[in-house]
Amino acid sequence: MTAKILDGEALAASLRAELKVTMAARNAANLRPPGLAVILVGDDPASSIYVKHKGNDCREVGFKSETRHLAGDTSQAELMAMIDELNTDPTIDGVLVQAPLPRHIDAKAVTERIAPRKDVDGFHPYNVGRLALRDPLLRPATPKGVMQLLELTGSVRGKDALVVGASNHVGRPMSLELLLAGCTITTAHRFTRDLEAQVRRAEVLISAVGRPRLIPGEWVREEAVVIDIGITREGGRLHGDVEFKQASQRASWITPVPGGVGPMTRIGVLQNTLFAATEFATTEPNE
């Protein structure tokens, strides 16, 4: 067996085309374009590239794009003041602070400072809580993108799904999304005693750790769907958590690294920004 490739680049391009159609209708109705503001603190090369991609995505679909680039020694108070300004800007629907942040910045406080109605990364406790209660509004962008990839494979309802990694931003909300889709969920983490046994029985395997070759391909169940969110640069190349070559000989579907989940995270941010512009222009959730 050779797995079919879940091409995130191709799906994201198709979804951006759909956003362009929606924007044409908004323009015809004389509605302002959705606005996305991204704050970059410091000069991390990977973050700078990612922020550039977000700006290009916005311009391609016709959104307003605003980038605020702050020095690496920017204080917590200065960053919070900028978030407050954007929270009250009526032309901005989404506020995103690019990770990672400098060590002197309290990332948790930053996440909670963004207004829930503008939290297009979907990290705010309000939005994660809505997802946990099966009543989501702005969904965490990476799990949202993964769920759209999974739609290409058919229904996942009733399947045994394993999420490797339990981070607040990806692993935990990913498990919540799969639960909402009707999967039976197992979450593996650093205290899991027999990862191999868990992987071998998973019909849907999603890894979000960021450790190269954490999961040998031979562990993957025959005909499983494999989503590799982890990405690590090693030896000048990007690697996922799953040993791709061997896994692709066993799985039915698999994401490449790069070109799988990354583009879908970006499209998730765009979709959330449009959602915020549509749903919260005149009404807001309780904060």
Residues with a catalytic annotation lie at: 54, 98, 121
Judged by DSSP in three states, 139 sits in coil
Would you say 123 and 272 are in contact if contact means Cβ atoms under 8 Å apart? no
Through-space distance between the first and last CA atoms of the chain, rounded to whole angstroms: 50
Judged by DSSP in three states, 97 sits in strand
* 49/55 Cα distance (integer angstroms): 10
Largest CA distance in the chain: 57
Single out the residue of 256, 245, 196, 201 nearest to residue 223, CA to CA. 201
How many C-beta atoms surround the C-beta of residue 130 within 10 A?
19
Judged by DSSP in three states, 227 sits in strand
195 vs 83, 179, 212, CA distance in Å? 40, 20, 15
* 211/108 Cα distance (integer angstroms): 24
According to DSSP, residue 95 is labeled E
Judged by DSSP in three states, 6 sits in coil
* 275/254 Cα distance (integer angstroms): 29
